[in-house]
Structure 1
Amino acid sequence: MSKIIFDDYKRTIRTQYEKKKMEDITGILMNPSPAQLRNLCLILFDQSLSNNDEITMKNFFSVKEKEGLRKAIEKCEISRFRPIRSFLLGEKNSDDIGRIDMGAILVDFNPRPFSNFLANKKKEIKIKEDSLQDIKCKKEDPVLSLVSEVGNEIKGLPEKSILNRYKKALTKVALLCSVGIGVVTLLPKKECMQWNTNHYEVVDCSTESSSFLDPRIPINKDRLDLKKLDPQTIKTYFENGNPIIWYAKNGDEIELFNQPGLHPTTDKTLKPITPYIINKYLRE
């Protein structure tokens, strides 16, 4: 479970990066260099850090006992930020929790660090399990109560009256069972999504995957609306001078999408369309 949740943690940090880079007034996150990411750490330090962020940074920068955090950031080789940059841009994956937690700080993703994200996910799973148990109990209790009530009612009554009441009670039991089954049927089972040709589909997480690499990922509302577009159907690429189409290069082919984010199969960051790409690849 932790591996699945860690992958979800990384995906949501990258999604936050796509959102944050559009809002970042410093302009650092739009196309960050390793040196700029180190400078961003200094900016965040000067704005004051939470206890968790300070611990994460001290571990990442290997702060010595008598050395201040700011000094450690200033002395840090910028090459240490290259894997973080590659992770945020979707160029390379990483399973180094220290780097991923640093990425979460740089894009202001919460809850962080991963230990907090993991704890929150486990709480959500526990709440869902408790909710299912409550629904199951509520479904069963009225039936048991009604059966007990029937048993009390039929004592001491004439045979014909017993038969009529017994039929009515059975009808009530059948009705309650139908309602209970309907409630269970409506419970949300589809908590994953997977890419299907040109869009995401919501699918059931509880079954075993038929393929070696499970294509299913936890539902992400920001990515669920992503769609691959047919260039022949696109009437305009820009509105008020701003791109409204994003692309990814797959070999010699250009794939077009309706929103920013990560490519559904490669997890690489989608790029905003440019006149150069249009003229080179999309003009007949």
Structure 2
Amino acid sequence: MYNNTEDEYKEAVKNEYERVKNGQYSSYLSAPTRSKLSKLCWEIYEGKKMNQTDLNIFNALLGLPFDINNKNGFKAQKNKFRPIETFYKGETNPLEMDKVDLAAVLVDYQPRPFSRFRTSDLSLDYKKNDSIDNPEPEVEDDDGEFIFQTPQGGFGIKEEPPRKISFIERLLRLLKKSKRTVFAILFTFGLTGTGTAIYLAFFEKDNMQWSKDHYEVVYKEGIEGNPNEIIDYDEHLLDFKKVSVCDTSTCFKPDGEAIVWYAKIGDKADFFNSNGNGRHPETKKSLRPITEYIKGKYKGDCPTK
């Protein structure tokens, strides 16, 4: 029987946070705040069919059951995400495992909660182990999840088998993995024209740089004369733009949630159509959701027809 410790659990969750913080939920995790983590939590629970274990984790920390009709009541709990924020940042070491359990949910770390982690075989890769080549006996646990028992007596969560990868995807992965090798192969087979085009398309122009009001996809040298930082290509930033805000601008959803974000620059503010990667592309200041007060104070003139 395994007896993994609380410190090992915390370290594992923190490592998973570092691994995924610039991924799908980077706008929430790359520069976490209690407000961002609260919104991410609601998005995760609202968007997935949660098992009873994760519902219990939600209830244990927040003191209320997850109810899709109680979003306003949930918003009042955002300060309870402060310990998770400081845990991700390495500023605190939570003593209560319910906080670490919810931190595990937000980055989808398995095995969770700690009660499961404590008796798990950590030599397994829980996130990727699909047991296709060597299937083990499967059982359904109390939470409705299918798990498999390992020869050592531990348990792993069985996920869906990976989908088949198309030829194009395999080619792109190979191209990304070994640029020189693939280019040499293409050259050897007399495909220098096509090979060069593919090489330039996939290897060189894989950066982004802020240009006036949006990100441009650029070569590694960037735009001549543009002093803004050159960053790695991020598909989520293609639609990220600076916007103008005036009296008639729609800045909120019907329920009051902001759809415009801002950062103050001296005595004015720049506005954007989303949270992007959480930072102003030029000043690197944190972006915040707009409020009626900010809109009223920093709005501009509406364009004339």
TM-score range, shorter chain: 0.3 to 0.5
Larger radius of gyration: 1
TM-score of the pair, normalised by structure 2 = 0.43
TM-score of the pair, normalised by structure 1 = 0.45
Q: Which has the higher helix share?
A: 1
